[in-house]
């Protein structure tokens, strides 16, 4: 990148909570956020946060019919804009994506249709993907461009790429980007189980491998798939140039798509990741990278493919590797920006957040962090952050 892009605010809601203090403190402990729901492990919001989201739903009659994915986006976006003090008159752009969109609402409406052969009045406008960014724009009363998209699990980082492109084009100097996901429905979990990638563990498991940490994300020695879904939303405020109030700077971006062998495939050495990481590095040397926040959702082949790609690019100079999915699960389209938030916190606190079941040497200084995401379709994104 010729010119850096500043991240001037970032906010999230996740099983870790909503405030930076709670999120950081929860990252520092070695406990996960998983509970059982309908026989499967999931990662849900704390009760207090659920109550606040319900208050948002009840605060406006128009919000009562919205899907959780939209409410999560509104909630997190309000926090981000408040933190950076943007005004609606700033005409900033909005790009918020979701892998699944209005998951629960769509399933509810479809179930009713199968029973009654009749659709509810608001079934279409409240389940279209575009309603995420449009409702956030309505809530914030901004006049800038609003975009929604779905690029599976790399959705949030693709939103970041798009925001950067708009800023670099000169068409906007500020952009709100992010992802929102509310995937904890029986049908969505069943889809992951049908792919045989969902964790079979439970919180009372006696298995040595999964008893304490059911999602073995990034562990190259795990013997079976261990992905667990979690809900969440994260938003970042992007501004042109290196601003004084920047939490971090984006100094490199990379993206790539590889040829698929089947609908959910990723090559053995993740060619797409190799290309996206190499592109993001630019002129930096591999040894200049201190930490990589991996995508690694907890699947055996997917995790190993990313590890292989990192080994290919960094050879014997592999940075410290970490992930947050062992703790909060995989929030699909929102996961990439939750990883960005984790990276920013490490830069701010100058402390490496480790994975408790992996032995990793923590870097003495943290200046450059690479964040990866990839989704079904082999579409990888790598974002390089700096202090």
One domain for residues 226 and 280: no
One domain for residues 50 and 189: yes
Rounded distance, CA 235 to CA 65, Å? 22
Span 279-295, mean pLDDT?
Answer: 96
Which residue, 221, 240, 259, sits at the end of a domain?
240
41 compared with 202, residue with greater pLDDT: 41
Lowest-pLDDT choice from 231-235, 236-240, 242-246, 334-338: 242-246
- pLDDT of 204 > 60? The answer is no
Contacts of residue 169, Cβ cutoff 8 Å, sequence gap at least 6: none
One domain for residues 121 and 69: yes
Inside any domain, residue 59? yes
> What mean pLDDT value characterizes the chain?
93
Residue 91 main-chain phi, psi, to 5 deg: 55, 45
Which residue, 181, 207, 240, sits at the end of a domain?
240
Inside any domain, residue 49? yes
DSSP reduced 3-state for 302: helix
Rounded distance, CA 126 to CA 24, Å? 34
CATH number at residue 168: 3.40.47.10
Rounded distance, CA 267 to CA 302, Å? 9
Contact between residue 230 and residue 314 where contact means Cβ atoms under 8 Å apart: no
One domain for residues 145 and 225: yes
What pLDDT, in 10s, does the model give residues 106-131? 999 999 999 999 999 999 999 998 89
Largest CA distance in the chain: 63
DSSP string, 335-356: HHHHHHHHHHHHHHHT-----T
pLDDT of residue 208: 42
DSSP string, 182-222: ---SHHHHHHHHHTT-B----TT---TTTSS-S--TT-TT-
One domain for residues 71 and 199: yes
Query: Taking Cα atoms as reference points, which of 161, 207, 218 lies closest to residue 384?
Result: 161
Per the structure, the count of domains in the chain is 2
One domain for residues 23 and 134: yes
Rounded distance, CA 320 to CA 364, Å? 11
Which residue, 215, 240, 265, sits at the end of a domain?
240
Inside any domain, residue 245? no
One domain for residues 43 and 157: yes
Q: Domain limits at 219?
A: 5-240
What pLDDT, in 10s, does the model give residues 205-221? 554 455 689 999 999 99
One domain for residues 161 and 259: no
Helix-strand-coil percent breakdown of the chain, rounded to 5? 35, 20, 40
Contact between residue 76 and residue 14 where contact means Cβ atoms under 8 Å apart: no
One domain for residues 56 and 16: yes
What pLDDT, in 10s, does the model give residues 251-275? 999 999 987 665 555 677 889 999 9
pLDDT of residue 265: 55
DSSP string, 219-232: -TT-SS--B-EE-E
Rounded distance, CA 297 to CA 190, Å? 17
One domain for residues 160 and 65: yes
Lowest-pLDDT choice from 168-172, 193-197, 260-264, 331-335: 260-264
One domain for residues 199 and 269: no
One domain for residues 187 and 320: no
Q: Among all chains, which residue has been given the structure tokens 């501004």?
A: 239
């Amino acid at each position: 990148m010729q010119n850096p892009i500043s991240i001037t605010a970032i906010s999230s809601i996740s099983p870790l909570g909503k405030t930076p203090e709670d999120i950081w403190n929860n990252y520092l402990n070695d406990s996960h956020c998983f509970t059982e729901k309908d026989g499967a492990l999931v990662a849900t919001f704390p009760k207090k946060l659920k109550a606040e989201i319900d208050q948002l739903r009840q605060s406006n009659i128009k919000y009562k019919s919205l899907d959780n994915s939209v409410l999560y986006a509104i909630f997190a976006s309000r926090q981000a804009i408040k933190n950076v003090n943007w005004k609606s008159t700033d005409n900033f752009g909005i790009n918020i994506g979701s892998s699944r969109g209005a998951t629960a609402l769509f399933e509810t409406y479809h179930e009713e249709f199968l029973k009654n052969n009749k659709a509810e009045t608001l079934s279409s406008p409240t389940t279209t993907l575009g309603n995420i960014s449009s409702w956030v724009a309505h809530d914030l009363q901004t006049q800038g461009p609003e975009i929604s998209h779905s690029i599976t699990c790399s959705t949030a980082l693709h939103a970041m790429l798009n925001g950067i492109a708009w800023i670099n084009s000169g068409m906007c100097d500020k952009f709100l980007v992010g992802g929102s996901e509310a995937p904890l429905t029986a049908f969505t979990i069943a889809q992951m189980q049908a792919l045989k990638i969902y964790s079979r563990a439970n919180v009372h498991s006696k298995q040595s491998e999964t008893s304490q940490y059911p999602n073995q994300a990034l562990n190259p020695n795990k013997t079976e798939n261990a992905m667990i879904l979690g809900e969440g939303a994260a938003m970042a405020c992007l501004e042109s140039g290196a601003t004084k109030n920047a939490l971090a700077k984006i100094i490199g971006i990379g993206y790539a798509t590889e040829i698929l062998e089947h609908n959910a495939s990723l090559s053995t050495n993740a060619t797409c990741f190799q290309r996206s990481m190499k592109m993001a590095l630019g002129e930096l040397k591999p040894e200049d990278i201190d930490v990589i926040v991996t995508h690694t959702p907890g699947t055996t082949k997917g995790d190993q493919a990313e590890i292989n790609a990192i080994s290919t690019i960094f050879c014997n100079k592999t940075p410290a590797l970490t992930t947050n999915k062992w703790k909060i699960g995989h929030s699909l389209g929102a996961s990439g920006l939750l990883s960005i938030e984790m990276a920013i916190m490490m830069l701010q606190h100058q402390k490496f957040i480790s994975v408790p079941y992996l032995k990793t040497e923590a870097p003495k200084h943290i200046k450059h962090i690479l964040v990866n995401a990839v989704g079904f379709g082999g579409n990888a994104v790598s974002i390089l952050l700096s202090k």
